[in-house]
Structure 1
Amino acid sequence: MRYIIIGAGAVGGAIGGRLAGAGHEVVLVARGAHHAALRADGLRLKVPDGEYTYRLQAVTGPGELGELRADDVLVLAVKTQDTVAALQAWGPAPVAGGGTAAERLPLFCAQNGVEGQRLALRVFRHVHGVCVWLPSTFVEPGVVSAGGAPLTGMLHLGRYPHGTGAIARLVAADLEKAHFEAPVVPDVARWQYAKLLSNLGNALEAVAGPIADDAATTLFRRVRAEGEAVLDAAGIAYASAAEQRELRGHKVDLVPLDGAPRGGGSSWQSLSRGTGTIEADYLNGEIALLGRLHGVPTPLNGLLQQLANTFAREQREPGSLPVEELVRLADGAVAFVQEARPAAS
């Protein structure tokens, strides 16, 4: 099989690089300066066992590949806000022997949140979800780091919305030869919703810095509890924190890498790169959406969604809001909702 990594940034670059290192054919899809660096110098992947350079085919879109192959596997690793554009580009791509990518090829959504695969299923027939547990960083154009050890990451795979299938098992086998653990599960969404709860802290970290002191940790617990209440009200199953800890153990411990500091998670990295967009609408915003659908107030997640989008739009420095100020805003948001509810009823 040939793997086409649509969005060869932190997560996509780490997956693509590790697959290439295990001997698989890989095509990287990127834009701008990152694409230019991949074309000129290859992908440099910094990991605990060393630094590797992979000179792989790098393209900006399907037109540069001509007809896709019947054995191609598409891995969608763009941020959720870039999903629709990627689907519009790759769905109609012709496949050798007839038909289009959307009709014939498997698409694996290696993204945070749950919305990307919903969007994909509107276009692609064969959609697989991936629960991504992969600490990685876009260091600079052409350079990606992944500091997990002894494994690079854990990637639960399954058909979306449910089921497994032969292609998922084949992809899992390739990933497990490439420094990943890749359980194939019939309920991948249950793991993704559990990861979503963890990702609710991404916006908090992005605007106020690492969740390290008591104030930030307490606030994150409140944000997560709000998310759990929403999922419970919606009847959505999610793996417990204890189940996740038991499965992951110390398989993906973060190791400091020389020349590749990890400033923060994916939302932090979006702000530090000044991309102008952030995925909060599909993380905290997913909780806000479900809360409105099921009558559960979500003032904390709504606040973080709003702040993260403001920071991205105005290209503010990540972590520049004092956590004490964020806690004050959070308390105010909760109080406002509590005061408004009796009037609304």
Structure 2
Amino acid sequence: MRYIIIGAGAVGGTIGGRLAQSGREVVLVARGAHLDAIRQDGLHLLSPHGTVTLPVTAAAGPEEIDLRPDDVLVLAVKTQDSQEILSAWAPRPVAGGGTAADVLPLLCAQNAVENERMALRLFRHVYGVCVWLPALHLSPGAVVSHGAPLSGLLTLGRYPGGTDETIERIAADLRGAMFLAPVVPDVMRWKYGKLLTNLGNAPQAICGLAPGAGPLVERLLDEGRAVLAAAGIPFTSPEEEARVRGDQVHEVAVDGLDRPGGSSWQSLAKGSGSIEADYLNGEIILLGRLHGVPVPANETVRRLAAEFAREQRPPGSMSLPDLLKLVEEEAAAR
């Protein structure tokens, strides 16, 4: 199998880098200065195990790659970018006949729960990947993997449910590349559980790693759990995820530096102009409106995160007391 990693940022770069390091054939799809740096100097993968430079093939998009029937597409972009990218890859021809949409497996190694639904409209063989992978990408040509002793927990399964030989083979390759990779028949239950934990991404991006944010995050989670219960959607608990992860993946410092923030924090730090809150807190808002469950705290943090991204405000530029005041004021006004 050849792995084509679409989106070689923190998650995609770590997955692709570890697969390449284990001897698998990998193509990293990136853009801008990150693409140029990988092409010129390879991918620099920093981790608690040391730094390696990997001479990985890099491409700007599907037009630069001759697809083969043994290719695996791994989508690792933010959800707000998925539709455009899926539409670009789906019609590409595959050697031997057919298109990528008809022939190739597509793995959604992303936060949120909307990507698989988007993909299944276009691709025949869609797989979910629940990602627990602490990593960082802020500088061109480099990603930092903070997971140890393994780089991450990647829970895999067919979408909407089940398992098959293809995902078992992919999981075996991932296990050989420093990942914990269980295959489950209910991968979306895992992804909804991860969705709940990601509800805290927006306030972290807005306020930074502010002490005292716990009660707000718990309020976001309470709203999320209430919505999923009303919708009849099952989800894993943090305790179940922790039991599977065990002592095999911990977030640790690299070169004495802790990871400064999660994926939403990194989007603001890079000034990307977009943020995934619409598909994290926004998913809870959508379900709340569909099922008549009020979710005022999620509404406020989603709106603010979107404003921060649109205005390219730096992460952590609002104080926690100011955010809490807004949450209370807007909840009272609804």
Same fold (TM > 0.5): yes
1:55 maps to: 55
1:274 maps to: 271
Deviations 1:23-65 (A, max 9, x none): 0000000011110001001100001111111111100111112
Deviations 1:218-269 (A, max 9, x none): 1100111110000000000001122122222232111111286522000000
1:334 maps to: 331
2:183 maps to: 184
1:312 aligns with 2:291: no
Question: Which of 212, 229, 237 in structure 1 is aligned with 2:226?
Answer: 229
- 1:33-72 aligned within 5 A: 33-66=33-66, 68-72=67-71
Aligned residues: 334
Paired with 2:190 and 2:232, the residues of 1 have a C-alpha distance of: 15
Paired with 2:175 and 2:33, the residues of 1 have a C-alpha distance of: 31
Runs of 4+ in 1 over 6 A off after TM superposition: none
1:29 maps to: 29
Paired with 2:256 and 2:242, the residues of 1 have a C-alpha distance of: 29
Deviations 1:189-226 (A, max 9, x none): 00000000000000010001115x23x11110011111
Q: Which amino acid aligns with 1:186?
A: P
Any idea what SS the aligned residue of 1:122 has? helix
2:247 maps to: 250
1:321 aligns with 2:308: no
Any idea what SS the aligned residue of 2:182 has? coil
When the two structures are superposed, what TM-score results if normalisation uses the length of structure 1? Answer: 0.95
1:151 maps to: 150
Paired with 1:259 and 1:15, the residues of 2 have a C-alpha distance of: 23
Note the C-alpha offset of 1:89: 1.2
Any idea what SS the aligned residue of 1:270 has? helix
Percent identity of the aligned residues? 60
Deviations 1:83-142 (A, max 9, x none): 011111111111011110000000000000101111001110000000000000003000
1:174 aligns with 2:173: yes
| Alpha-carbon spacing, 1:260–1:61, altered in 2? closer, same or farther (3 Å) | farther
Paired with 2:331 and 2:186, the residues of 1 have a C-alpha distance of: 34
Any idea what SS the aligned residue of 1:33 has? helix
Note the C-alpha offset of 1:296: 0.3
| Alpha-carbon spacing, 1:84–1:143, altered in 2? closer, same or farther (3 Å) | same
1:219 maps to: 216
Provide the alpha-carbon RMSD of the alignment. Answer: 1.0
Paired with 1:72 and 1:246, the residues of 2 have a C-alpha distance of: 33
1:92 maps to: 91
Structure 2: any 5+ residue segments left out of the alignment? none
Paired with 2:15 and 2:118, the residues of 1 have a C-alpha distance of: 22
Q: Which amino acid aligns with 1:291?
A: G
1:6 maps to: 6
Paired with 1:300 and 1:224, the residues of 2 have a C-alpha distance of: 10
1:291 maps to: 288
Paired with 2:207 and 2:121, the residues of 1 have a C-alpha distance of: 36
